[in-house]
């Protein structure tokens, strides 16, 4: 599904996003000539769909000591191990999803970034899965990039596809997830050209056939009327209609979709698909599904992008093979029978 290639920025490798106290810890260890081997477990706060592990693996491959197969027995004592659940696996609250066994100085500066990667990505992937399950056999497309910072929009799209979305809206996010971007006309196009049909014809005339002809209707007039006019103009080249009625006008309703499908079928445009968007949530999607509404696809934005992170915590559980833990937690590594070694 994915490229499994993540761009780990130099600032992350330098440890710039790390909590300051981790830098102080590394400095104090160096000054006192301490660098013990530790076992650290990373644990989610809630059940969900694991995402971010491939990015974490890319980070750790960049920073953990490389092992020379011809190295001496002494240096082999410092070999690093990373054990993890696979991307997309179901995770349970309190069960380890990631375990790092290495000399602490080699990864102390990355605890913050690892927790952040796993927390945000897992939250997004889990929210996407909820939408996909609500939609049953219908398509769900990730449209949340405009609601978050652009530096992480492609990670949002990747997590959404991992959670089950068929595609996403951005070019970078689609490349990251190994999918073609899904798009349509924005409202700005008919506004600029002054007419939805004229905008659709320009869209069709100049863009390559690799771009699906999906036209947004309702910018100026009734959604059904504009959809029929666009269908008559583009005919067989038209793949779909997107309805994005704003909440100020009541939003998209099942009745509107039913009417559009019936009128399109009567005009022999049965091939034209119907996509809807606008504040969709799993409950809202389920309303359309329970009514057997003829929706072909749901474009979901803020429900996924606004999902709460699934907070991951990191705890040292062993130092030099001796069980240890802070007060309130049982010393020793957690039970992790599903973990597989990835490094």
pLDDT tens string 203-252: 999 998 888 899 999 999 999 999 999 999 999 999 999 999 988 998 99
For 297, the enclosing helix (H) or strand (E) is: strand 297-300
pLDDT, tens digit, 9 for 90 and up, residues 3-13: 457 999 999 99
**Cα dihedral 82, 84, 87, 91 in deg (nearest 10):** -150
Which CATH number is correct for 10-121+309-341, 3.10.620.30, 3.40.50.720, 3.20.140.10, 3.40.50.620? 3.20.140.10
Q: Can you spell out the DSSP letters for 65-127?
A: PPPPTT--HHHHTT--EEEEPPTT-EE-TTS-SEEEEEEGGGTGGGHHHHHHHHHHHHHHHHH
pLDDT confidence band for 70 (50 / 70 / 90): low
CB 329 within 8 A of CB 316: no
Flag whether pLDDT at 43 surpasses 80.
yes
| Percent of the chain with pLDDT strictly greater than 90 | 88
Calpha distance 126→106 (Å, rounded): 31
Reported confidence tier of residue 320, pLDDT bands at 50, 70, 90: very high
Q: Which two tokens stand for residue 149?
A: 């910072």
Which of 76, 121, 75 lies closest to 98 in space, CA to CA? 121
pLDDT above 90: residue 198: yes
pLDDT of residue 166 exceeding 50? yes
Between these two residues, 87 and 73, which has the higher pLDDT value? 87
User: Can you give the residue ranges of every domain in the chain?
Assistant: 10-121+309-341, 126-305
CA distance 324 to 316: 7
Query: Given a cut of 50, is residue 34 above it in pLDDT?
Result: yes
What pLDDT is stored for residue 3 in this prediction? 45
Residue 300's H or E segment, with its range, is: strand 297-300
Higher pLDDT, 72 or 319: 319
In this structure, the strands spanning 167-168 and 214-217 are: unpaired
* Cβ contact 146:301 at 8 Å: yes
Q: What is the pLDDT of residues 299-317, one digit of tens each?
A: 999 999 999 999 999 999 9
Q: What per-residue confidence (pLDDT) applies to 209? A: 86
pLDDT of residue 210: 84
| pLDDT confidence bin for 186, thresholds 50/70/90 | confident
What is the band of 168 on the pLDDT scale with cuts at 50, 70, 90?
very high
Please give the pLDDT value at position 230.
96
- Categorize the per-residue pLDDT at 92 as very low, low, confident or very high, splitting at 50, 70 and 90: very high
Task: Provide the H-helix boundaries in the chain.
Answer: 10-14, 20-31, 53-63, 73-76, 111-135, 153-162, 171-177, 188-193, 196-206, 223-234, 254-266, 282-290, 302-305
pLDDT digits (tens, 9 = 90+) for 321-334: 999 999 999 999 99
Query: If pLDDT is split at 50, 70 and 90, which confidence band does 192 have?
Result: very high
* Mean pLDDT over the full length of the chain: 93
What is the rounded average pLDDT of the residues 110-115?
Answer: 98
Query: Under CATH, domain 126-305 is a member of which superfamily?
Result: Aldolase class I (3.20.20.70)
Q: CA angle at residue 159 from 173 to 126, to 5 degrees?
A: 150
pLDDT at 183: 78
Helix (H) or strand (E) holding 56: helix 53-63
What are the CA-CA distances from residue 213 to residues 199, 230, 299 (Å)?
A: 12, 11, 16
Q: Is 233 helix (H, G, I), strand (E, B) or coil?
A: helix
The pLDDT score that the predictor gives to residue 2 is 44
């Amino acid at each position: 599904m994915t490229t499994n290639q993540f761009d780990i920025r130099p600032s992350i490798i330098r440890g710039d996003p790390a909590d300051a106290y981790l830098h102080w810890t590394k400095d104090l260890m160096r000054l006192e000539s301490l660098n013990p081997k530790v076992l650290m477990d990373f644990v989610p706060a809630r059940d969900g769909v694991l995402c971010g592990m491939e990015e974490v693996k890319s980070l750790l491959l960049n920073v953990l000591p490389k092992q020379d197969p011809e190295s001496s027995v002494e240096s082999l004592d410092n070999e690093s191990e990373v054990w993890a659940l696979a991307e997309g696996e179901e995770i349970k609250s309190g069960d380890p999803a990631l375990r790092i066994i290495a000399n602490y100085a080699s990864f102390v500066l990355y605890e913050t970034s690892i927790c952040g990667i796993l927390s945000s990505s897992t939250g997004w992937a889990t929210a996407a899965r909820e939408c996909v399950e609500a939609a049953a056999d219908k398509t769900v497309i990730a449209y949340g990039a405009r609601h978050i910072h652009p530096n992480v929009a492609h990670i949002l799209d990747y997590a959404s596809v991992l959670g089950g979305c068929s595609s996403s809206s951005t070019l970078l996010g689609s490349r990251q997830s190994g999918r073609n971007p899904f798009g349509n006309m924005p409202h700005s196009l008919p506004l600029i050209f002054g007419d939805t049909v004229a905008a659709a014809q320009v869209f069709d005339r100049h863009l390559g056939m690799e771009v699906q002809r999906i036209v947004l209707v309702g910018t100026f007039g009734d959604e059904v009327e504009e959809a029929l006019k666009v269908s008559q103009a583009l005919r067989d080249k038209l793949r779909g209609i997107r309805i994005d009625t704003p909440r100020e006008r009541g939003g998209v309703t099942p009745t509107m979709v039913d009417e559009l499908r019936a009128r399109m079928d009567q005009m022999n445009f049965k091939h034209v698909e119907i996509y809807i968007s606008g504040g969709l949530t799993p409950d809202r999607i389920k309303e359309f599904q329970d009514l057997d509404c003829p929706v072909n696809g749901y474009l979901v934005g803020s429900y996924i992008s606004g999902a709460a992170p699934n907070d991951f915590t990191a705890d040292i559980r062993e130092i030099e093979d001796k069980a240890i833990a802070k007060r309130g937690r049982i010393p020793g590594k957690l039970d992790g029978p599903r973990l597989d070694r990835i490094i």
